Amino acid sequence: MLDQLQALQAQALAELGAVTNRAELDAWDSQYIGKKGQLTQMLRNMGSLSKEERPIFGKAANDVKTVLEAAYAEREKLISDQELAHDLEAGAVDITLPGRPKPTGGLHPSTRTLRRLFEIWGDMGFQVYQSRDIETDDMNFTLLNIPPHHPARDMQDTFYTTTPNVILRTHTSAGQIRAMRELGGNGTKPLRVVLPGMCYRFEQITVRSEVQFHQMEGIAIGKNIHMSDLKGTITEFARRFFSPTAKLRFRSSYFPFTEPSMEIDVECFLCGGEGCRVCKHSGWLEIAGSGMIHPVVLRNGGYDPNEWSGFAFGMGPERMTLLKHGISDIRYFWANDQRFLEQF
């Protein structure tokens, strides 16, 4: 059996020298030193030897096993190095090829519109005033000439909190009084600000309405400010935002915090006023509500309406983006669908 061991070692080493890949190496391991390999089988047959022969054979078998395992480890490292070298060569980078640009994120369409609005109103002398999303009922309604039980409250389905008199603002007009009181110098300074922010209304979600949306309020207060100033300001804004040739239409309307009040339409830039699906075949698109600030609101903000006057306007960035790009569903703005967002 000692001769068989020597023959097994010689044969195993010879065959191992011809192994060139991992599959052949695994097959060699199974044939010679695995659990069912030839060396293992010879060790299991030691019972047929005499007591004197067993220790001699066992030592010789262990020596052979050590030699074969060392040879196996050396061959395995050689094959691993060869495989790594092959992978590196196959995956080599050709530095003469043009690079692949990494995809980058983009601004949300609402953010893009808001930034454009900031730019336009900033050029026209309006500063940005950030008001709070969580407001008191007084700031959102009462001080804007909308007392309790006023019918106008039914027009805005409000989110109420568990704290009395605390709500989620339904419009950015809620920041008018705060802006007047904080920046108006106790009713002694002229004021021009825009108030952007998110608004919340408990409404059914449709293609035209959402429970949350952006608004941008604007107010200008000074001495001898008239409706003509409001019209000229809005006209200049529309020409900068939509088109230098934009045509506007002013319609009489009603808001509790302005008097007189008016809705502002721009001629549909998609059909040129001919009528299409976006403008509901009217040729006009509504872009804002506006009016002269009500004397009660001026007084609540700290201004004497006998000396000061002003105008206010409110517009929806999402609605303006819908109109400008012909988007048919406002729900796209909050769905986080990359197919929609990557278009901007």
Does some domain include residue 105?
A: no
Mean pLDDT by 10 residues, the chain (344 residues): 80 86 87 82 77 80 85 89 81 77 85 94 95 93 89 79 92 94 94 95 81 93 96 94 89 94 86 73 87 97 96 91 80 88 85
Asked if residue 114 lies in contact with residue 214, where contact means CB atoms within 8 angstroms, the answer is yes
Same domain assignment for residues 32 and 120: no
Confirm whether 11 is domain-assigned: yes
Q: List beta partners, residue 168.
A: 134, 159
Q: What's this model's pTM, rounded to 2 decimal places?
A: 0.67
Domain that holds residue 195: 110-341
CA distance 320 to 287: 7
Domain membership flag for residue 96? no
Let me know if residue 168 belongs to a domain: yes
Q: Would you say residue 102 lies in a domain?
A: no
C-alpha–C-alpha distance, residues 162 and 118, integer Å: 35
Residue 297 sits in the same domain as residue 264: yes
Cis? peptide before 55, omega within 30° of 0:
no
Q: How much is the pLDDT for 278?
A: 64
- Based on the fold, state whether residues 148 and 7 are members of the same structural domain: no
| Measured CA angle at 41 (ends 35, 45), to 5 deg | 140
Domain assignment of residue 208, yes or no = yes
120 assigned to some structural domain: yes
Out of 61, 90, 119, pick the residue that ends a domain.
90
Domain of 118, CATH number, reads 3.30.930.10
> Would 103 be classed as within a structural domain?
no
Write the CB contacts of 295 (distance below 8 Å, at least 6 apart in sequence). Answer: 259, 305
Q: What are phi and psi of 65, to 5 degrees?
A: -60, -40
Statement to judge: residues 249 and 177 lie in one domain = yes
Same domain, 42 and 139: no
Same-domain status, 330 and 302: yes
| Residue 215 near residue 315, CB atoms below 8 Å | yes
Residues 224 and 119 in one domain: yes
Question: 241 and 123, same structural domain?
Answer: yes
Asked if 65 and 136 sit in the same domain, the reply is: no
Q: Mark whether 205 and 324 lie in a shared domain.
A: yes
Domain count, the chain: 2
- Residue at which a domain ends, from 41, 58, 90: 90
Q: Are residues 31 and 173 in the same domain?
A: no
Does one domain contain both 21 and 61? yes
Q: Write the CB contacts of 124 (distance below 8 Å, at least 6 apart in sequence).
A: 192, 233, 236, 237
Could you give the CA distance from residue 213 to residue 232 in angstroms, rounded to a whole number?
Answer: 27
